[in-house]
Amino acid sequence: MKTNIYKIVILSLAVVLFAGALYIYRPGQNKWTRITVVGDSQTKVAPDTAVITFSVVTQNSQAVTAQQENARKSEAVKTAVEAIVSNVKPEIKTSDYSLSPEQDYYSGKMRKIVGYEVKNTVTVSIKDLSQVGVVIDAATKAGANSVEGIAFVLREDSPAQGDALALAAKQAMAKAQAIAQSLNGKIVRVVETIEGGVPNQQPNSFNDYKMSANAAMNTSYTTPVQAGSLNVRSQVVLVVEVEING
């Protein structure tokens, strides 16, 4: 009797183990894996914003006089620029301001303050690129005596930014599909999408562009400025789940 019970128990265990083995190692079972790919796009587009940086610099033996003269000229510059580009809603802001002593050596040993310099740097952003030269001329005529740079950029909400990202995403998906097919599988779902970085635009810029106020007043020409094009680069990291036929 006991022998029969042992046989039944052993046979039952064998059946369970065999069934488990068939389930685990059943033929034709599909496998799952994840693939990570990177899509990269680079396009040339026209800029939609110009950023002009210029300064009003004044000097005087008295700090307060230099400061007051600078304030007067800076206000005149701001008013002149606003009048020129009032129809394109410019963004005008102070990007730097400094008041510093001018020193000279006294008797070859000691330094002596001989005057003061005040510098008020203003940044103007405009969307109408045809007005860049006009803004420079208006600012210098009103009192700006240093134009320190012009940069052409894209706004963050520019459609070109979205187009570049879409192109990068399509490239990443095409790579993922090619890999899945090579593994005899198919993409089941997209697990994660990561923007690899902000579109890397290299702004066209003109640095250290300088014109004296007197030179601007003695000419009737408009300063010519050409925007050119920008290189916009976008990157998308795509993680997909792939079912591989066994």
Round to the nearest angstrom and report the end-to-end CA distance of the chain.
Answer: 46
Mean local confidence (pLDDT), 184-201: 72
222 within some domain: yes
Reported as a single tens digit per residue, the pLDDT across 125-158 is 888 888 888 888 889 898 898 888 888 888 776 7
- Rounded to two decimals, what is the model's pTM? 0.60
Stretch 157-163: mean pLDDT, rounded? 75
pLDDT at 3: 58
What pLDDT digit, counting tens, does each position of 50-72 carry?
Answer: 899 999 999 999 999 999 999 99
Residue 221 pLDDT level (bands cut at 50, 70, 90): low
Pick from 55, 18, 64: which is nearest to 146 by CA?
A: 55
Q: Which residue has the higher pLDDT, 7 or 79?
A: 79
Is residue 54 included in any domain, yes or no?
Answer: yes
Q: In which domain, by residue range, is 65 found?
A: 49-154+203-228
User: Quick check: is 177 in a domain?
Assistant: no
Count of domains observed in the chain: 1
Pairing of strands 230-244, 204-207: unpaired
242 domain-assigned: no
Backbone angles phi, psi at 155, to 5 degrees: -70, 155
Name the band, by pLDDT with cuts 50, 70 and 90, for residue 196.
low
Cα–chain center distance at 168: 16
Q: Is residue 233 part of a domain?
A: no
Here the CATH number for the domain that contains residue 89 is: 3.30.70.2970
pLDDT-derived band at 172 (thresholds 50, 70, 90) equals confident
